[in-house]
Homo-oligomer: A and B are copies of this chain.
């Protein structure tokens, strides 16, 4: 185990550089030495020290993932897993590992964590998960011009690459679907308003109502964290209104689950008394009861493309920034219409 390149070299009777070349599959190595070195490596159970290699090559074959704090809470939303699944499916093929930035001594904030990760040279590029309206991380990435990509979009124009959905359009489409079903009192369960994604989805909801000439009612809009509990309490508020909504756009499936629970406890039947559309189409959406209509934003695809973009940025730093919009489509299930096919639902592509 504790063997280094020198040990291998002397056992094989060659110089360290030759061993290095064999490891790197350098072409101009005689077949014979190659085999001798390989044998020595095997005998000593030699594994190259990636740290030493990193120090000289200045690459780590590792992609950093900055998880917004509070980390704990982030993991609670399946969004994360789906995203990570997409990311790893690509990194795996491309030979990159993934480093989660979680180290967090005394009061380290996201900024410090990011700078720590960048400065430490342990990653070749960084994927940022979700953006805030006033996001201090983006300027840091811009200044350092490290390969980086944001899942989401910057609130203000920026030089970094990003991969996102057209969240405004998606919310517009979801709301419009409910309008077409005959609803005109539609509640909106939104995420916290310092996230760009929340603002975009709310804007789409607004636009759809406006285009349908329906007056906005601030009572019908509540914001909460992307957690089940938030959906539950938000929904309780909405249903306590003098004139309750007959349909809900939940800007996250988890919020939708909370809403369904609240509705159930209040004795409303779904979809007979109340229609619900969720957002993200996490795997659980189809397992809800009734299966939940949800805007599929293809989270895994967001992750995949983000990984592809970052790898491209790493290998071709000269290429400028890229911005990618991932398609969305509404998956109709029984939380909106008892006529919908069970479980898998039917899909409306925009």
Contacts and interface: CB of A to CB of B under 8 A. Distances in A.
A47 B120 contact: yes
A328 to B, nearest CB: 21
A122 B50 contact: yes
A337 interface: no
A313 to B, nearest CB: 17
A315 interface: no
A344 to B, nearest CB: 10
Interface string A53-71: 0110000111000000001
B97 A47 contact: no
A337 to B, nearest CB: 17
A257 interface: yes
A200 interface: no
Contacts of A76: 85, 283
A119 B47 contact: yes
Contacts of A261: 287, 343
A322 to B, nearest CB: 23
Contact of A91 (B60, B93, B103, B288): B103
A88 B116 contact: no
B75 A85 contact: yes
A103 B96 contact: yes
A100 B118 CA distance: 18
B99 A98 contact: yes
Interface string A274-301: 0000000001100111100000000000
B97 A92 contact: no
B78 A78 contact: yes
B81 A100 contact: no
Contacts of A98: 99-100, 102
A204 to B, nearest CB: 26
Nearest to A146: B1
Interface in A32-86: 46-52, 54-55, 60-62, 71-72, 75-76, 78, 80-82, 84-85
Given A91-B102, A287-B288, A342-B265, A122 B47 contact: no
A228 interface: yes
Nearest to A65: B100
Contact of A51 (B54, B99, B287): B54
A284 B261 CA distance: 12
Contacts of A46: 119
Interface string A170-208: 000000000000000000000000000000000000000
B120 A51 contact: yes
Contacts of A288: 287-289
A84 B92 contact: no
Contacts of A91: 102-103
Contact of A48 (B48, B75, B102, B119): B119
Nearest to A104: B92
Interface in A143-173: 143-144
Given A1-B119, A75-B85, A92-B102, 5 more contacts: A75-B82, A75-B88, A91-B102, A97-B117, A99-B100
